[in-house]
Structure 1
Amino acid sequence: MTKFNFISIKYSLISFALLFFINSFSQVSIGPRHVGKSKKFPKERLGKFKNTETIFVLSDIIDTETYEKLLSDSWDITSYQLVKREDFNLLNYLDGNYSFANLEGYHKQKQMKSGAIVDYIYIYINFFMLDNEGLKKDIKKLDPESKKYERKLNKAISSNRENIARVDLFPKDTFLPTALSSDTSVIMDSIYSRDVFYNYKSGFLKNYFQKVNDQLKTGEEYWMYDNDYLPELKNLSKQTLYIPNYHLIKYNPWKMTAKEDKDDFKDTFDSYDYKFEFQDEDEIDRRILAGEEFYYLRFVRVNSQKFIHIVNSKTGEIVYRNYVAGMLSSYNLKKRHVKDINSHIKKALKK
């Protein structure tokens, strides 16, 4: 089994998030738990979080100036600092004044009853804190000279971790062979230095961070296995739904191949009752950063599961969400998913 985690103690990989295995994640999850059953934040956790400085350790594919711009427009629940991966050492931030947002993930293999091996890839931006006093006590018990030091350090960090939120990233199909076959150092370098995600754009990140930021201000968890919509979804009866071009890429899970198939996707979206328009992701990105208000489709596939969102580009609010637990035959958007959007727009119009 290959494990990888993208928060580093100096240059090495520390896989403290990977001590248990999870079969499903969400596009945006806000709470102390991201799997199993929804759970409320423990008392005082959010108060503690709001008094921290959040250390963002993010991909190098976006420049510092752009990160500063999108964060200034989306993040005010805590003060924050951008730190490059090569300069980051978790052990320098153990005085209790910090929270973290970084890229993490893992590769899991599962043997089916038939004997076949199925691979799962999970990669995400994780928001969390540490129980610093507990971690310091556990670290003091470790012998730095021991061959098991790094593994025990990973365990100590994991057991003293306090979850806040998670945003799933959608790996490009061209990156999957690398994620499945490479060692952790290659994967780590790819995550931080290459454009390997469909939904890792500055505008998309702005909207994700807005949602996490604003939801945490309410103090309410956001359980992303729910399916719901907001009244403003009715606006789509008169406004255009913009669809990023990456939605046109059709994935074949049997052959592990992907290709752009505009005709097939247009056929799928012909069942949409309102106006829609395909648009290049870079143009959508530019419009979000410019503060324009429109609605766009945000589809993320996590293995065979699909998370379908419609997002207000100005506020980052998710006005429609549909979680679909899919099988191998339904890795891509289908007409039934489009019809579900139609039905919810009609419901919103009646309210």
Structure 2
Amino acid sequence: MWSRSFRALWSARAVSYLGDSMGLVALLLYTQGSEGEALAVALLLLAGDCVPGLFGPFTGVVGDRFDLRRVMVACELAQGAIVLSIALTTPGLPVLLLLVALRGLAAQVFQAASRSAVPSLVDDAHLARANAALGAGTYGLEALGPLVAAALIPLVGVRGVLAVDAVTFAVSALLLTLLPRLRATETHEVARGFLAASWEGVRYMAHTPVVRAVAVGFVAVVAFNGVDDVAVVFLAKDTLGGSDSAAALVYAGVGIGLAAGYPLLTRYAGRAPAIALILAGFAVNSAGNLVTGLAWAVWAALALQVIRGLGISALDVGVNTELQRTVPPGLLSRVFGNLYGAVGLAAGFSYVFGGVLLDRTDARVTFVVAGTGGLVATVLTGLALRKRR
């Protein structure tokens, strides 16, 4: 069913994200022993995830202006060069944060371009299943990254793992050269100024009701539910009396759900409308956190987080498919850049919000508030989409 070009994109993304997850483990270990270790880890995560989100309106312009194949190859080579420079030079924290932020920017351009390329590589009837297959390859192998890193570190050390990460980017770039030319934009777009083109993407999202409703709903659900990354450990250990291993297992629940959800959607996603997947994903994601706050045992919290992971896979496939079908090709990278940049910022806000709420209340209240807020956002999104459509 899948074309040679789509298989090349799938393989490139899988290899790249596997390297990403290995590299993250190596970078976290790299910051150990530095002065202010906890702060260094927090800054590292912010530099890689939240700082690129500030440039969301601009990152998608690249994919809409140039050939998507060349954009993706350039982004992978840039990321590989940055990671290799970290491995070779072992920079101090300020320079490390700058390099991680630059790598995050290249990654965001790549993500917007790779999502924009999918409609050119598969038939519309198979679009939802293709997005699910990409998710399975991306997040399925990404979950293996920490295990591979754990096996390699005793053999090659942290710098060696970073070097392997750099090699995965080179392999991904090589695979991407198998794609055909993928020019997403019209000729007249090339003459537009960069700022004007970025503003056009923002304006399109603001004035297109369905796209606006999906984007606002997605960002709101993430802003509420991202607190689980902060609160899971406290719920498992302090509230439910579990061990460190139990806390780690509950934390892994979402990943287990993702690993199961994407293969299921690869088979069945084409049978449901994309909007239905979005709303079901929003609801399951949010309800999973709400009921996790009421969990009576560690195993119950784990099961609920696994179910929540299934919801996240559904909303991811639904959002990508709906935008790929709704947004004109010449604007698609900008829309994806704007959306996932905003989602990254929402996640950063959620970490801070979750930390404050935990300090003022406890883990149960934090989960219940997060899930309730996400469900309210889901209902409002459903009403907005029903009205607009």
TM-score (norm 1): 0.32
Which has the higher relative contact order, 1 or 2, with Cα contacts under 8 A spaced 6 or more apart? 2
TM-score by length of 2: 0.30
Which structure: greater helix fraction? 2
